[in-house]
Amino acid sequence: MKHVEFSLAHQAILDAHRDQLVVVCRWSRWCDRCPPFLDAVATCEKHFPRVSFFAVEVENFGVFDFPAIPSISLFWNGMKVHDSFGVSDSKAIAAYLGEWVSLLAARQHPLLKTKSKSPTPHRSTILSAAIRLEALSVKMHSADIELDGEFTAPTNKLLNEKYLDALVSAANVGQNCFYIIEAVGAGKKQIAKVKTTVEKMEQSESDYPKINRATGSILYVGKSKNLAVRLRQHLGSSAKGTYALHMGRWGHLIPMRIRVSWYVFSEDGILNQAIEDALWDGLQPVFGRKGAR
């Protein structure tokens, strides 16, 4: 982030960055909130390589003087498009800038212009997608994702309907969730046995998820709007015709302990899918498919 005396050459700076979104951060030496504000902006800056950032002392702000500091002004094509007051932490700033980058991209903003003499067909659309992904990356970094709950259970008790009801009732959260089903302490031989058992059962029941090459202890990664219902499908035996683990059918044949963990998250659908895909890539579950079902 460049520190400049903006009032001395503000138009020259804006003209030099007409093909970019310009972020002007106002601050003052006598403002106690300004140092952490500038640090927060600097943290966000690395996630926006197509955006130009400038820091301006309020005493030097001249024609752009404002009564509130710290604050942010956004400029595009030499014109101011928005002011923000009171946004001072990195997560809020990242969310604010991410929304504006997405908005400008959706409007086919000149931010998407290319200097190529022979532009690729549909380049604007492709670059729009790239900028949306950039904004998505910022949201990912600023997202609050914390463990909301978990339980463990022996697989040989999953046929007990009352036990299963009590188990999944803990997951009656009523919000969008990511969930992970894990075979606690299971080795490769035990996981191989699980795969073989499910493969045999697939010959008579075709409602099992795809079997992957993975050999780790993570059995399944998914997301659900009704977690309690979805977990009952995975852990029970009666959800015929629904793609699930159906552990109640085979859990008594392979005694082991499972752990179910879930994380509440309420952001937009694209971000939800990106997080689920990242979990899938990182955890390599034994069952299921990557991507939207």
Supply the pLDDT for residue 288. Answer: 94
Q: Tens digit of pLDDT for each residue in 59-107?
A: 655 444 455 778 888 887 777 777 787 677 788 888 888 877 777 765 5
Give the span between the Cα atoms of 232 and 16, in whole angstroms.
Answer: 59
SS3 at position 23: strand
Supply the pLDDT for residue 261. Answer: 95
Give the span between the Cα atoms of 197 and 250, in whole angstroms.
Answer: 7
Give the span between the Cα atoms of 71 and 190, in whole angstroms.
Answer: 58
Supply the pLDDT for residue 268. Answer: 58
DSSP per residue over 74-115, as a string? EEETTEEEEEEES--SHHHHHHHHHHHHHHHHHTT-GGG---
Q: Is the peptide bond before 70 cis (omega within 30 degrees of 0)?
A: yes
* Radius of gyration, alpha carbons of the chain: 26
- Domain 2-142, CATH number (from 3.20.20.210, 3.40.30.10, 2.60.40.1730, 1.10.150.120): 3.40.30.10
* Cα angle 285, 158, 251; round to 5: 55
Supply the pLDDT for residue 116. Answer: 43
Give the span between the Cα atoms of 3 and 54, in whole angstroms.
Answer: 6
For residues 109 and 132, the answer to whether their CB atoms sit within 8 Å is no
CATH 3.40.30.10 intervals, the chain: 2-142
| Residues pairing with 73 in the sheet | 24, 83
Q: What are the tokens at 58?
A: 């309020």
Give the span between the Cα atoms of 146 and 279, in whole angstroms.
Answer: 14
Sheet of 218-224, strands arranged across: 147-154, 257-264, 177-183, 218-224
Parts of the chain with a pLDDT under 50: 8-9, 62-65, 108-119, 124
Supply the pLDDT for residue 172. Answer: 82
CB neighbour class for 207 (10 Å; exposed up to 12, middle 13-18, buried from 19):
middle
